[in-house]
């Protein structure tokens, strides 16, 4: 079975270091990493990952805007996308509920829990 590949789009260096290690060690997943939404969209088009983990709060373009761009891009709109967010207020949840996302994972999180949540959201039993 092919190794799962997840694109992580996050501007926090700590998260970009920790998550790929967790994916590899806990689940044998390969992580593709982007530090901006623009870079992430380009990587998604080129690499066609199995899923995208997208931070909501980003400096140049936020995750919601980037997700909107992905949804109108035929090359990547069918890739399941999970939002990573520190914002979990009811108003944010309602906004997220209107998007065609696979799910939402709130920060902070523990690496093993993150892998577990991704498996649950995407229904992966690897």
Rounded-to-integer distance, Cα 80 and Cα 102, Å: 6
Q: How far is CA 3 from CA 6, 13, 49, in A?
A: 10, 24, 10
Count of Cβ atoms closer than 10 Å to residue 24 Cβ? 13
* β-bridge partners, 83: 54, 104
Instruction: Tell me the mean pLDDT in the region 69-85.
Output: 97
Q: Please report which helix (H) or strand (E) contains residue 6, including its range.
A: strand 5-9
pLDDT in tens, 27-76: 999 999 999 999 999 999 999 999 999 999 999 999 999 999 999 999 99
Domains of the chain are 5-117 (3.40.50.2300)
Confidence (pTM): 0.94
Residue 1 has pLDDT above 70, yes or no: no
């Amino acid at each position: 079975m092919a190794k799962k590949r997840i694109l992580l789009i996050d501007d926090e260096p700590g998260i970009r270091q920790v998550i790929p290690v967790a994916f590899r060690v806990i689940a044998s997943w390969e992580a593709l990493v982007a530090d901006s939404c623009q870079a992430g969209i380009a990587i998604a088009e080129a690499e066609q990952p199995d899923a995208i983990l997208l931070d909501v709060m980003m400096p140049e373009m936020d995750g919601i805007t980037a997700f909107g761009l992905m949804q109108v891009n035929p090359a990547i709109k069918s890739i399941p996308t999970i939002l990573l967010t520190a914002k979990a207020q009811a108003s944010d949840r309602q906004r997220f509920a209107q998007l065609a996302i696979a799910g939402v994972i709130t920060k902070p999180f523990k690496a093993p829990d993150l892998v577990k949540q991704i498996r649950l959201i995407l229904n992966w039993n690897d």
